[in-house]
Chain A
Amino acid sequence: MKKRLNILWNNENRYMRLASVNRKAILTYNKKILSAMTLIGGLLMMLPL
């Protein structure tokens, strides 16, 4: 159990380390996804009408 918690903790730390130095790339990716998802979502909801 302790080992698994350690793995989770290490993963979280690894994510924080990678995310802090690649913040701009992550933000750009999330922004693109947000635009695409909201547009696709809105259009798909309109489709059955």
Chain B
Amino acid sequence: MTAPLSNTKPDLVPTYLLSAALFFILLFVSRLPLVKEYTLYVLYLCFSVFFLFAIYLSVIHSPDMRATILLGAFCIVPFSFIDRPARINLFVAFWFGVHTVSAFHLKPQYALDDTINCLCFAILGCYIGNMTMWIRLEGYEAQRLLTIEKETDVLTGLYNRRKLFETLANFEAANAETPSGILMIDIDHFKEYNDRYGHAAGDKCLSRLGDMFLKFSQNLRLQFYRYGGEEFLAMAYGYNREELLSIAESLRIAAQDLHQKDTPATISIGVAYCGDEQVRNYENIIDRADKAVYAAKRLGRNQVFIVQNEEQTD
């Protein structure tokens, strides 16, 4: 095989081919779903192939020349990916050590030059790489905090209505897990509560309820949202009708016990069970839960009322 670009290339053909094959194998491997968790290790492998190739060129193929491609590797690798800074620096230092030792053995006339050049480029690459990584990480963190702020209700710490409708939209995706039931929760006589104890006490009541719901969501497969002023919505995943009723009853009792005797507040809960139906529009299920909570209120408040399709059961 001949290489048209340079007279020095033909004996490099096997190395180029081997490196290209290794890169393509790594590309193939990196796309396997099994490797998803090991992306970082495959990246280190990929950069190790790059370093090996550059070191081969420097100390074996062209020992009578100073290293050039290797300098590029020392510059590019540290800011190409995100990992612990200490590990990236150690990785670069390792390949710097490998090249330095082999250069002093195989190309002593340029070993010192190469060592100084590589050291400068490695330090520069690691310094810029670390800085770039912090900038990226801080960007991700800012984005994460903004998302939380966008989706969270300030008073209760629960998801807000915007997040609820985003979640509903996501149910249309093929693999999305859908809830088996929706609970609509309403604080009884909240307007009177505010008038009697003041708005500060009303806010405190909402906040305490929010904390209680968060505790429930840690132990059960429930996701709570603040739906409106004193209305909350919970999506329950993987529960049957009886379990949903029992959870709703636990919520009602917990809310009743939560408030001190001088500022009593109770909740009514409407439950819409949809575990065995094909639901096209979850807003209908929310409407159903809303009707159920009104039914609970009509029955005297501080109770749980469940509906399933058009059939209703208390």
Q: How far is the CA of A41 from the CA of B45 in the complex (A)?
A: 12
List of B residues within 8 angstroms of A33 by Cβ: 43, 80-81
Assuming the contacts A12-B86, A41-B46, A42-B20, asked whether A25 and B80 have C-beta atoms less than 8 A apart, the reply is no
Within 8 A of B (CB), among A1-49: 8, 11-12, 15-16, 18-19, 21-22, 25-27, 29-31, 33-35, 37-39, 41-43, 45-46, 48-49
Closest chain A residue to B77, Cβ basis = A37
Q: Is there an interface contact between A22 and B27, defined as CB atoms closer than 8 Å?
A: no
Closest chain A residue to B13, Cβ basis = A49
- Verify if B31 is at the interface (C-beta below 8 Å from A): yes
- Verify if B9 is at the interface (C-beta below 8 Å from A): yes
Q: How far is the CA of A18 from the CA of B305 in the complex (A)?
A: 44
Q: Mark B23-50, 1 if CB is under 8 A from A, else 0.
A: 1101100110000100110110011011
A27 to chain B, nearest CB (A): 6
Q: In the complex, which range does the number of interface residues on chain B fall in?
A: 35 or more
Q: Is there an interface contact between A26 and B86, defined as CB atoms closer than 8 Å?
A: no
A11 to chain B, nearest CB (A): 6
B57 to chain A, nearest CB (A): 12
Closest chain B residue to A19, Cβ basis = B137
Task: Tell me what chain B mostly uses at the interface: helix, strand, loop, or mixed.
Answer: helix
List of B residues within 8 angstroms of A16 by Cβ: 84
Q: Is there an interface contact between B23 and A45, defined as CB atoms closer than 8 Å?
A: yes
Q: Is there an interface contact between A11 and B85, defined as CB atoms closer than 8 Å?
A: yes
A43 to chain B, nearest CB (A): 8
- Verify if B17 is at the interface (C-beta below 8 Å from A): yes
Q: Is there an interface contact between A18 and B140, defined as CB atoms closer than 8 Å?
A: yes
Q: Is there an interface contact between B24 and A38, defined as CB atoms closer than 8 Å?
A: yes
B260 to chain A, nearest CB (A): 36
Q: Is there an interface contact between B23 and A38, defined as CB atoms closer than 8 Å?
A: yes
List of B residues within 8 angstroms of A45 by Cβ: 16-17, 19-20, 23, 53
B64 to chain A, nearest CB (A): 20
List of B residues within 8 angstroms of A30 by Cβ: 39-40, 43, 81-83
Q: Is there an interface contact between B144 and A48, defined as CB atoms closer than 8 Å?
A: no
List of A residues within 8 angstroms of B140 by Cβ: 18, 22, 25-26
Q: Mark B65-92, 1 if CB is under 8 A from A, else 0.
A: 0000000000000001111111000000
Q: How far is the CA of A37 from the CA of B45 in the complex (A)?
A: 11
Assuming the contacts A38-B24, A41-B19, A45-B19, asked whether A15 and B85 have C-beta atoms less than 8 A apart, the reply is yes
List of B residues within 8 angstroms of A29 by Cβ: 81-82, 136
Q: Is there an interface contact between A39 and B27, defined as CB atoms closer than 8 Å?
A: yes
A22 to chain B, nearest CB (A): 4
Q: Which 6 A-B pairs have the closest CB atoms?
A: A42-B23, A45-B20, A38-B27, A41-B23, A22-B140, A25-B140
Could you list which residues of chain A lie within 8 angstroms of chain B, going by C-beta atoms?
A: 8, 11-12, 15-16, 18-19, 21-22, 25-27, 29-31, 33-35, 37-39, 41-43, 45-46, 48-49
* Sampled A-B contacts (6; CB under 8 Å): A18-B141, A25-B143, A34-B26, A34-B42, A35-B31, A48-B5
- 17 further interface pairs, Cβ-Cβ under 8 Å (given A22-B137, A37-B47, A43-B20): A8-B86, A15-B84, A15-B85, A21-B141, A22-B141, A25-B144, A29-B82, A31-B39, A34-B42, A35-B27, A37-B43, A38-B27, A41-B50, A45-B20, A48-B6, A48-B12, A49-B3
